[in-house]
Structure 1
Amino acid sequence: MKMGHSVLKVKSYQFSLQIIRLVKNLQKEQKEYILSRQIMRSGTTIGVLIRETEFAQSKADFIHKMSIALKEANETLY
C-alpha cells in the first residue's frame, strides 16, 4: 500500500480496515445488521473524504471536505 507520506491518509485507511473487521464480526457473530451498516458507512467515509481533499478545487473546498470527515468520525464514535 503506497499512500504517500500523509499520516492522516494512512491512519484513516487503517481505521477503515478495522471498521470492516468489526462489521464482519458483528454481522457474523451477533447477527446485527442495522447498526453495523451505519458504522460501516460512517467509518469508511472518513478515509474517502480525506482522499478527496487531494483534489480539492480550493482551500474552502478542502476545509469543507475535512469538516465532513470530522463529522463522520464523530458519528462513528457515537
Structure 2
Amino acid sequence: MTGRFVAREKSRAFALRVVKLCRLLQERDREYVLSRQLLRSGTAIGALIREAEQAESRADFVHKLSIALKEASETGYWLDLLTESGYLDSVHGQSMMTDTEELLKILTAIIRTTKRRG
C-alpha cells in the first residue's frame, strides 16, 4: 500500500472515531465548545488529504498535506484538553492521541518524500 492510500484510509477511520466521540461528549456531558473544535480539526485531516489527491501541482499537493498536518497537530491539542479536563478518560484519550500521532508521522513522511523527489 502506498503512503497516500494509508493516509486516506486512516484519516477516514479517524474522522469517524472523532465524529462518534464528539456526539458522545455532546449527548453525555453537554460539552459543545471543545468537541466542536475537535470535530472541525479531526475531520479536516481527511478532507485535506482528499483535496491533495486532486492537487494541480506537486507544490499544491505538499501545501494541502501541510495544512492537514497542522490540523492533525491541532486535533492533538483538543484531545489533550479534553483528557486533562476529565471529559475524556485517559485510556480513550491515549488511544485517540496514538491515532493522531500516527497520522502526523504518515503525513510528515509523505511530505518529506514528495519534497525530496521534487
TM-score interval (norm. to shorter): over 0.9
**How far apart are the structure 2 equivalents of 1:70 and 1:39?**
14
TM (norm. structure 1) is 0.92
AA in 2 matched with 1:33: Y
- Residue 62 (1) aligns with residue 42 (2): no
**Alpha-carbon distance, 1:48 to partner:** 0.1
1:16-40 CA distance string (max 9 Å, x none) = 0000010001001110001110000
Residue 54 of structure 1, CA deviation:
1.0
Shift of the alpha carbon at 1:67?
A: 0.3
Unaligned runs of 5+ in 1: none
Residue in 1 aligned with 2:35? 36
Gaps of 5+ in 2: 78-118
RMSD of equivalent CA atoms: 1.0
The aligned runs of 1:1-78 (5 Å cut-off) are: 6-78=5-77
Identity %: 57
Count of matched residue pairs: 74
